[in-house]
Amino acid sequence: MTMSNNPQLNRNGELQHLLTTEGLPASILLNILDTAESFIGVTERDVKKVPLLRGKSIFNLFFEPSTRTRTTFEIAAKRLSADVVNLNIAASSQSKGETLLDTVNNLSAMHADMFVVRHSQSGAAHLIARHVQPEIHVINAGDGRHAHPTQALLDMFTIRHYKLDFHKLRVAIVGDILHSRVARSQIHALTTLGVPEVRVIAPKTLLPAKVGRLGVHVYHQMEQGLKDVDVLLMLRLQNERMLSARLPSAEEYFKYYGLTQEKLALAKHDAIVLHPGPMNRGVEIDSAVADGKQSVILPQVTFGIAVRMAVMSILAGN
């Protein structure tokens, strides 16, 4: 039956786990962004460490392969002086038949303070959060198609950095919304932070059935969808979409939905372009745009570390 309480918040309404951007008050999201701001200085110093999480053990539980996200979490934890253990579980105990919760219970017994979890199934992080001891914090680093909240928060940080205010923006998310945990988390974060117009642009085969109910405007053509947009959030396209007959070819996708300079010109002249990486150049984005002056894709990566430091330090303090 429906649980009325938010599984991410503790009794005092503070962040206990970060599982999704959905249902979190704007004040919590903004606090994460503000805290991340204070860590930007740390990441630019010679000695890039603060002792906030000294003595804490953070376990990176990656049930799905990932290099980039796992690395940024590892760097963030180390800059907070935490001890980090990386577990690439896709290749170990799961293949021996151990269940997800068995794995988590074993690691809890090693006195973990925080789990950073990536899993191929939607809801995996919620399941773990529901079964860990109350003193352990869970950060969702991507669960199936459901959520990737730290990615969305670093995108929000990047948007605020360049655009200063959320309340006058028109934001378009372009690409495979259906399979994207990033898109879902971006949509909830953007609407919570007061962005008045969020658009999604995709062919019908890459949109979930009730996407409109998430509070977005749906477009199927770039020409209309990109008009007067301030921020473009591009999504990665997986090759599987061609195999599952959702798209005919990467080439046709690029022609109609790939971001080129020509299509970018439809947006506002000072629009910024974000991408969660890794990029498929020539599929969802043209190199000229990815490397162009409106691209903020590399700053995103830098901000990502500060945002993850912020999330970890806030959770550890609650």
Partner 1 sequence: MKLVIKGGRVIDPQSQLDAIMDVFVAAGKIVGVGTVPVGFHANREINAKDLVVCPGLVDLSARLREPGFEYKATLESEMEAAVAGGITSLACSPDTDPPLDEPGLVEMLKHRAKGLNQAHVYPIGALTQGLKGERLTEMAELRDAGCVAFGQSDMPFTNARVMMHAMQYASTFGFGVWLRPQDASLANGGVAHDGEVATRLGLPAISVCAETVALSNIILMAKETGATVHLCRISSAEGVAMVRAARQQGLPVTCDVAANHMHLSEMDIGFFDSNCHLVPPLRGLSDRNALRAGLLDGTIDAVCSDHTPVDEDAKLLPFGEAEAGATGLELLLPLTLKWAAEMRIPLVAALAKVTMEPARILGIDAGHLSPGAAADLCIFDPDQYWKVEAAALKSQGKNTPFLGMELQGKVKYTLVNGNIVNQG
Indicate which single residue of 213, 269, 270, 278 sits in contact with partner 1 (rule: CB under 8 A): 213
306 binds partner 1 (CB under 8 A): no
- 246 lines the binding site for partner 1 (CB under 8 A): no
Stretch that binds partner 1, among 42-50, 85-93, 203-211, 264-272 (CB under 8 A): 203-211
CB of 154 to partner 1, least distance (A): 19
CB atoms within 10 A of CB 123: 15
User: 100 vs 156, which CB is nearer to partner 1?
Assistant: 100
Angstrom distance (rounded) from CA 286 to CA 132: 44
Q: Are strands 114-119 and 197-201 parallel, antiparallel or unpaired?
A: unpaired
Q: Which of 204, 210, 269, 293 binds partner 1 (CB under 8 A)?
A: 210
8 Å CB contact between 316 and 83: no
146 binds partner 1 (CB under 8 A): yes
Residue (47 or 245) nearer to partner 1, CB: 245
State the Cα–Cα distance between residues 150 and 305, nearest whole angstrom: 10
Q: How many residues bind partner 1 (CB under 8 A)?
A: 29
User: From CA 66, how far away is CA 316, in angstroms rounded?
Assistant: 24
Which residue, 20 or 295, is less far from partner 1 as judged by CB? 20
Residue from 17, 56, 118, 119 touching partner 1 (CB under 8 A): that is 119
| Cβ-proximal residues to 34 (8 Å cutoff; 6+ apart), any chain | none
| C-alpha dist (Å) from residue 244 to 100, 205, 239, 249 | 28, 10, 9, 11
Quick note: the x/- pattern for partner 1 over 73-102, rule CB under 8 A, is --------------------------xxx-
Distance CA 238, CA 284 (A): 10
Q: Is 11 among the residues that bind partner 1 (CB under 8 A)?
A: no
8-state DSSP, 28: H
Binding site for partner 1 (CB under 8 A): 1-3, 7, 22, 99-101, 119, 121-124, 126-127, 131, 143-147, 181, 184, 208-211, 213-214
